[in-house]
Amino acid sequence: MNRSIELENRYCARNYDPLPVVLKSGKGVWLWGVDGKRYLDMMSAYSAVSFGHSHPALVAALTAQAQQLAVTSRAYHTDQLGPFLQLLCETTGQPKALPMNTGAEAVETALKAARKWGYKVKGIANGCAEIIVCNGNFAGRTTTIVGFSSEAQYRDGFGPFAPGFVSVPFGDAAALEAAITPRTAAFLVEPIQGEAGIIVPPAGYLAQCRAICTRRNVLLICDEVQTGLGRTGRLLACEHEAVKPDGLILGKALGGGLLPLSAFLAREDVMGVFNPGDHGSTFGGNPLATAVGSAALRLLHDERLAERAQLLGKRLMDGLRAIVHPAIREVRGKGLLIGLELEPEVISARAFCEHLMRHGILSKDTHATVVRFAPPLIITEAEIDAALAIIGAVFDTLPMARRSSEDRIAA
């Protein structure tokens, strides 16, 4: 076995089950293994690498800032944080922002803000605030967040969990309305559920949720850690339905694919609940990350990456839908966030990803049946077409018919 894999297996916690490839370099949409083999990255580190690997403008911002000033804590002001937050707020149309590092931390920040807003502004009795979430949600891995997951494995063995969460079916606005009580502070929702398997809700869902939340004085908080920053063909996935949330969570691509950077953004009265000492993070808003974040936001705008995601996403989606094979159950998504659901009777998503890897494409299964296609937004038409040719060729190697149970036992 490869030495790097052996060392990881010996020393690393087994909390992941990576594909058997050892990467050593990346440039744009391409990754190279230690054996020199080249792969097209169709996963982008779960959408964190939207700008491609080592984008020159981002690496330049990173290295220049690293030599200038990297980490100060927020005990002091820096010349990077203010301009970054201005750009972030102006880009997203939110008045206030609170910088953190990982997506989960920004979600935790949103939960704290929502609860405190519930008590201080809405007037919910202390300790009684409820937050409504959706079945199938993914918002990170902290104990509070996995406590409101509907995924048994994410929760198993990690309780007891924080109370105060109510779960409703995703895509069902009437269920949201029915779940709201005078104690409801917020509704936390992903415009498209990423980890659940690229689940796109019915058209009009988010706009209906917006109207309900406004009418019932409940905060609409959109978790756009994965769908935000151009991924779905708009700067924010909320914009597909002209929805402006009261709170917005960004992460992943915000750090330019170079380092962790996340943020919770919100209305004045929501962010206004935080006073000095209420909340914080040693690394949150550090000058190194925010310099890269500013460069990433400029790049997103200058290279019109959301528009590219829309155009190229359509090309990829149309191409995938043109592949006819009994192993394909559904192709769905928006922009360059696409899920290919397979017929598990024919092949598992994991086995399909291993086939793709051998043919030079890296992707990852989500749940047992969905293969994710979410390449860097800088991918070209020619690269999409090359990927489609390979994906088609992999389907050609699969059996055309469902295997009978006898075949499966024989295999």
CB neighbour class for 175 (10 Å; exposed up to 12, middle 13-18, buried from 19): middle
Q: Catalytic residue at 223?
A: yes
Q: Which of 190, 246, 365, 383 binds ligand PLP (CB under 6 A)?
A: 190
Q: Tell me the residue nearest to ligand PLP as measured from the CB.
A: 103
Residues in 284-313 at the binding interface with ligand PLP, rule: CB under 6 A: none
Q: Which two tokens stand for residue 331?
A: 């192709």
Q: Does 201 bind ligand PLP (CB under 6 A)?
A: no
Q: Does 383 bind ligand PLP (CB under 6 A)?
A: no
Place of tokens 């808003």: 285
Q: Which two tokens stand for residue 123?
A: 């007037």
Q: How far is the CB of 104 from ligand PLP (least distance, A)?
A: 3
Tell me which DSSP letter residue 199 carries: B
Given the residues 223, 264, 274, 395, the one annotated as active site? 223
Instruction: Note the helical H segments in 102-238.
Output: 103-117, 143-147, 152-155, 173-179, 205-216
Q: What string marks each residue from 116 to 155 as x (binds ligand PLP by CB under 6 A) or -? A: ----------------------xxx---------------
Tell me which DSSP letter residue 201 carries: P
96 pairs with which residues across the strands? 266
Q: Does 251 bind ligand PLP (CB under 6 A)?
A: yes
Closest of 128, 114, 78 to residue 274, by C-alpha: 114
Rounded-to-10 torsion of CA 179, 183, 189, 195: -80
Q: Does 107 bind ligand PLP (CB under 6 A)?
A: yes
**111 or 347: CB nearest ligand PLP:** 111
Q: Catalytic residue at 252?
A: yes
Q: Does 223 bind ligand PLP (CB under 6 A)?
A: yes
Rounded Cα–Cα distance for residues 293 and 301 (Å): 13
Q: Which of 218, 225, 253, 261 binds ligand PLP (CB under 6 A)?
A: 225
Q: Which of 78, 92, 149, 226 binds ligand PLP (CB under 6 A)?
A: 226
Tell me which DSSP letter residue 122 carries: I
Q: Please provide the DSSP assignment of 218-252 as one string.
A: -EEEEE-TTTTTTTTSSSSGGGGGT---SEEEE-G
Q: Which of 28, 99, 103, 285 binds ligand PLP (CB under 6 A)?
A: 103
Active site residues: 138, 223, 252
Residues that bind ligand PLP (CB under 6 A): 46, 102-104, 107, 138-140, 190, 194-195, 223, 225-226, 251-252
